[in-house]
Amino acid sequence: MVFFTQGNGQVGIDCSSFDVKPHRIYLMIPGQLQTYFCDENVEGYVVNFSVQFFNSFLLKVNYLDQFPYFKGALNNPVIQIPEAMQEEIIILFERMILEASGGKRLDIDMIKVLMIQLFIHIGRLTAETEKNVSECYKNIQIKKFLNLIETNLLDLKLPKEYARMLNMTTNHLNSLCNEVLGKSTGEVIRERIVMEAKRLMINYDLSISEIAYRLNFNDNSYFSKFFKKYTEMTPEAFRQNIFCEQVFHTVILNQYRS
């Protein structure tokens, strides 16, 4: 979670780019690609945490499941904080910093309390921004489908396998995907595989062969052909492109600072 209080720039979350604006919160989940190209005058707060951080603290262990941003299920991962709430949100972040300086058990517990307050504020705002998304049968089934992809991506890659888990025909699932998401079931699955491949390629310690193996591609050449078909570049070219972008923006930023 990143909250900017001033400055300009760009935040990249997976393949989407968002402008940096004051009093915006950017929500990310583990594994998402994150890039930051910001002016040197940018200021704000970054909070990294895991859901497990709260497991021993909350009586209801699935309490955080009610917040869709923990699953990356928001249409827009950027939340603009209304002016009336900005000071209150900043105070929560500042109090977290103050409590973190103590390091005692009760200090950590207080940080958790402050974070839950923040989650509730964000949850209310996201509920407002997402209120036009009807919880009808079609949307519920698509959410189930997307959740199944997240938990079975490495093992299941065929539309019929997901349709079977949802107790519906392959054609019916495809019809739902086209109507709600504007793309076929196969496209949704393939796009998620490509995104996972891109995320893994940011880790330069992994070879292309190792990435192909992790994604359950038995043949490295088939993985390369698959990736190129849907990105119009080879895995090696994609990785080189990411590296060059990082170097370019680092050079530009250093020149700006000097």
Helix H, strand E, coil C: the string for 180-244 is HCCCCHHHHHHHHHHHHHHHHHCCCCCCHHHHHHHCCCCCHHHHHHHHHHHHCCCHHHHHHHHHH
Is pLDDT at 54 greater than 90 in this prediction? no
Is pLDDT at 255 greater than 50 in this prediction? no
Asked if residue 99 is part of any domain, the answer here is yes
Please identify which residue in the block is written with the tokens 């190792």: 210
For residue 237, give its domain range: 137-245
How many CB atoms are located within 10 Å of the residue 26 CB? 19
Asked if residue 255 is part of any domain, the answer here is no
Instruction: Look at residue 214 in the predicted model and tell me its pLDDT.
Output: 93
Position with higher pLDDT, 62 vs 214: 214
Q: Which of 109, 129, 149 is the last residue of a domain?
A: 129
Q: Report the distance separating Cα 11 and Cα 2, nearest Å.
A: 10
Q: pLDDT tens digits, residue range 110-147?
A: 988 998 899 888 888 876 555 544 457 787 888 889 88
Indicate the pLDDT class of residue 165, thresholds 50, 70 and 90: very high
Please identify which residue in the block is written with the tokens 């990143």: 2
Strands 34-38, 24-26: pairing kind: unpaired
Query: How many distinct structural domains can be found in the chain?
Result: 2
- Are the C-beta atoms of 79 and 122 separated by less than 8 Å? yes
Strand partners of residue 201: none
Q: pLDDT tens digits, residue range 115-124?
A: 889 988 888 8
Among the ranges given (7-11, 84-88, 225-229, 250-254), the one the predictor scored with the smallest mean pLDDT: 250-254
Q: 89 and 185: one domain?
A: no
Position with higher pLDDT, 199 vs 216: 216
